[in-house]
Amino acid sequence: MYEFLTGFMFWLALAICLIGMLVRIIFYFRGLSWQLDRVAYKEFPMSGFKGAVNSIYRWLIPFGTLGWRKQPLMTVLFFGFHAGAVLVPVFLVAHNLFLKEKLGFSFFALNPFVADILTWATVICGLLIILRRIALPKVRILTTWYDYFILFISLAPFISGLIARYELGDYSFWLTIHILLGEILLIAIPFTKLSHVVLFFASRAQIGMDFGIKRGGIKGTTLNW
């Protein structure tokens, strides 16, 4: 089972994730209106680029926007969850050894202690996000089983990874489960809300370009969008 998951299944999951996200990005930009969006972006590329960069940058900084500052607890939970969710899968020592073996390259590796802290932060913040959805009526009314499912498949690889890391039970079993859950997560990314790992940048760029060009970004002109 281990050989299958780290061989054929790994390549299949990676291919589905990468190809699927490429398709999602293409369809996202092809779906933009020529009249409302793409004409303006083409005519004023520098203003649009500046707006896009500013929008992405500010939303990547904790409390960098009014939206983040209005919800300080959610901001802490969001960034606590996503810091580990992004950094640990890419920069964990064991993952980099696997990348080197399979793809011939690797990234720099996190200190194991830092990786542990980030993993725990992801799990704890993820569980608190679930509790928030249950506890707050204004959030609970908008939450469906699908949202809980997305949180579950997002957290499951980290929880199983911690169990394997601390050898709580049969290490080989939990390592296999961890790999399987990680590949399920990869496959799910293009087909679920998890596609925001890439589409976040596309949508923030579009909104930033809108404000950089059409919504007061270009001042002192007769533009009427």
Is residue 33 a part of any domain in this protein?
A: no
Dmax over CA atoms of the chain, in Å, equals 70
Domain that holds residue 62: 2-23+44-213
Is residue 130 a part of any domain in this protein?
A: yes
Q: Can you tell me the distance from the alpha carbon of 134 to that of 184, in angstroms, rounded to the nearest whole number?
A: 26
Give the global pTM.
0.84
Q: Can you tell me the distance from the alpha carbon of 81 to that of 93, in angstroms, rounded to the nearest whole number?
A: 20
Query: What pLDDT score was predicted for residue 179?
Result: 93
Domain count of the chain? 1
Query: What pLDDT score was predicted for residue 21?
Result: 94
Is residue 119 a part of any domain in this protein?
A: yes
The structure tokens 């696997």 sit at 98
Is residue 30 a part of any domain in this protein?
A: no
Query: What pLDDT score was predicted for residue 225?
Result: 46
Is residue 128 a part of any domain in this protein?
A: yes
Is residue 73 a part of any domain in this protein?
A: yes
CATH classification at residue 78: 1.20.950.20
Instruction: Read off the pLDDT of residues 15-31 as tens digits, 9 standing for 90 and up.
Output: 999 999 999 999 888 87
Is residue 148 a part of any domain in this protein?
A: yes
